[in-house]
Each structure stands twice: as C-alpha cells, then as structure tokens.
Amino acid sequence: MEPWIGPEERKAVGAYLLSQGWLTEFRKTEEFEKMIRRYVGARYATVVTSGTAALAVALLSKGIGHGDEVIVPDYSMIASANAVLLAGAKPVFIDIDPKTLCLDFKRTKKAVGKKTRAIVLVTLNGRYPTIEEFVRLARKKNLFLLEDAAQSLGSRYKGKHLGTWGDAGIFSFSVPKIITTGQGGVIVTDSRVLHDRIRKIKDFGRIRSGVDEFETLGFNFKFTDLQAVIGIEQMKKLSLRVRRKKEIYARYRTLLKDIPEIEFIDTNLKNTSPWFIDILVPERKRDALMRFLGKRGIGTRPFYPAIHTQAPYRYLKKNFPVSQDISKRGLWLPSSSFLEDAHIRRISDTIRKFFK
C-alpha cells in the first residue's frame, strides 16, 4: 500500500514554498482541519505529528495518566497500547471478537475495574463492533471512550463516521494509511472542553499560540503547513480512493471465494472501506503461501502479532486465544489503490495454484 502523490500535491507544495510561508502550522493546517472535520462530521479537529501522538494527547486531555488503567485490544497495531504508556497510564489488554477483530464487548465489560478510566476502541481496517454497547458502558461507568480509527477514514457505522461515536477519535496520516501527509494524525471531538485542552497540550501548554504563558503541562506535537498542503490535496481524492478500495476488496472476495482454505472477515462494503486486503488461512500453510507468492513477485505481510507477545509487554504472561489465533492465520494481500483488475486476477490465480 504505497502513497498516492500526484501533480496536485507537487504543485501545491511548490506554490506554498513560493508563498514564503513559515512551514509550521498556520492557515493551511486550519484549512486541512476544517476539511477533516467536515468529512467525518465532528465539531472539532486538531492535527498533530502522528496517530500515536493523537492517542496520547487525547488521553492527556482527559487527565488520564499515572495510576490509571486503560482498556486496549490485544490485537491491533502496537501504537494503540504504546500510546497509553506514553500518556503515563497502564494498558489492560482484552481479547478481540473473531467476527470483527475489534474489542470483545463482554470481556471488556467484565474487565472494567476501580482504576479503569478509558477504553481505546480500535476499529481495525474500517470494521466495527456494536458501538452503542461501548458508548452505553462508557457513560454508565464514567469512562473516556477513545476511538482509535487510525485505519477507518472513509468508514461508517449506521451512517455515522467511525471516530465520532466516542468522546474523541483519532485518525493517522502515516504513509501506508488511506491518505497520507508522510506522518501525521488528527484528534476529532465534539467537546469544546477537550478541544481546548488538546490545543494547549500540543503546544507546550500555552494559553494561546505565540504567548509564553503556560496553563498546563504540554509538549510539542504541532503539525506543519508544509504537510497540510499535501493533506488538503489528499482529502480531495479521498472519496475516489474509498470507492476504489471497496472495489478492490470486492474483486478479491469474488475471485477467492471458492477456495475452502481462505476465510474472509465479514465486511459490509456499504460501511467499511478496507484499508488492507486481509484474509485468514490455515496457520500451517501461511508461511509457505507467503513464500510461494513472494517467489512469483507478489508481496504479502503477516498480520500484526498479538501485542502481549511483544517485548514491552511480554512480562504479562497472559493468554488471549482469539488474538493469538488471528495473528497466526492472518495475511495481508497486495492492497495498493493502484492495483488494476488484471493484477488482482493474477494474484488470485497464483493463490489458487498454491492451494491446488
């Protein structure tokens, strides 16, 4: 999944540099934020340096930190958990639902304890659980519901954009995401109070931009106008890209449908714009399939590992059966927005040959 940079971005960067802008965040960043908040339907949007920073700043904006526990899924991109530690709080891992690859609701509900302050609800690859259940639970238990929608730009649930169901949501603009600014992330919320804190925390805690008086502890997670001019052009192409991603997924699904060893995760393409093409195969065949495809010039990538198996969390010594199983069976197929139908056919034919 490579970035899609065209003449529009090149022209916009050139024009910006000729305008002698100061590179750092200013008007272009505001314009980019406005486009994002309109697209997703949120009252406020604040761009920061990365999706990881967006998660940490969102937690900090709610005063979550040392001594607090935050529920995160054991299966996600590792940043979902690391950002909790960056904010100073402790991640508590919960297994996922095999149908959606998102947090399992029953297990989440059971895990809420005295120290739990927040839930990081990851909507992986634009898929979602029954979100209202999480919203209700968060309200009832007074928890901060933070949606990690890093992979969900362009995906909706019941007509409402993912990332706008919780108290706050984040998206990422790193290179492999559906649109990119090289690096970058955004926090969206409808809360004026959170929004004000977020703006301060990303700018050293300043009471307002350009004034050296600090109201809270803050850092530097500021964006740049140089990235924003690229982001603005990328946003203009988002709808086109969302449409193509859905077509690519549908084509793979049709072409691979009758191979018994391949399992697709239930995906409603009306709502979900899959970012990566993901399939499940028998564990004992995955590596051989990857090698077989690799030899024929087709790149693939195994799913993320279960987070608790990675160095920073290995001390946990816990079992998360679904997350472990999914991470061993999952495979990402070529997912570039540039894939042509003929490419998808050739990839699918090669996979079929392997299973024969």
Ligand X SMILES: *Cc1c(COP(=O)(O)O)cnc(C)c1O
- The site for ligand X (CB under 6 A) is made up of 50-52, 76-77, 79-80, 122, 148, 150-151, 172, 174, 185
Nearest approach, Cβ of residue 123 and ligand X (Å): 8
Q: Which is nearer to ligand X, 9 or 148 (CB)?
A: 148
Q: Give the DSSP letter string of 72-112.
A: EESSS-THHHHHHHHTT-EEEEEPBPTTTSSB-HHHHHHH-
Q: Which is nearer to ligand X, 186 or 281 (CB)?
A: 186
Q: Which is nearer to ligand X, 181 or 348 (CB)?
A: 181
Q: Are 237 and 337 in contact (CB under 8 A)?
A: no
| CA dihedral (49, 54, 56, 62) positive or negative | positive
Nearest approach, Cβ of residue 124 and ligand X (Å): 6
Nearest approach, Cβ of residue 46 and ligand X (Å): 14
Nearest approach, Cβ of residue 184 and ligand X (Å): 7
* Cα separation, 322 vs 71, whole angstroms: 17
| Residue showing the smallest CB distance to ligand X in the complex | 51
* Cα separation, 92 vs 74, whole angstroms: 9
Nearest approach, Cβ of residue 346 and ligand X (Å): 28
Q: Which is nearer to ligand X, 163 or 344 (CB)?
A: 163
* Cα separation, 223 vs 23, whole angstroms: 9
* Cα separation, 121 vs 103, whole angstroms: 7
Residue 1 burial class via C-beta count within 10 angstroms: exposed 0-12, middle 13-18, buried 19 and up: buried
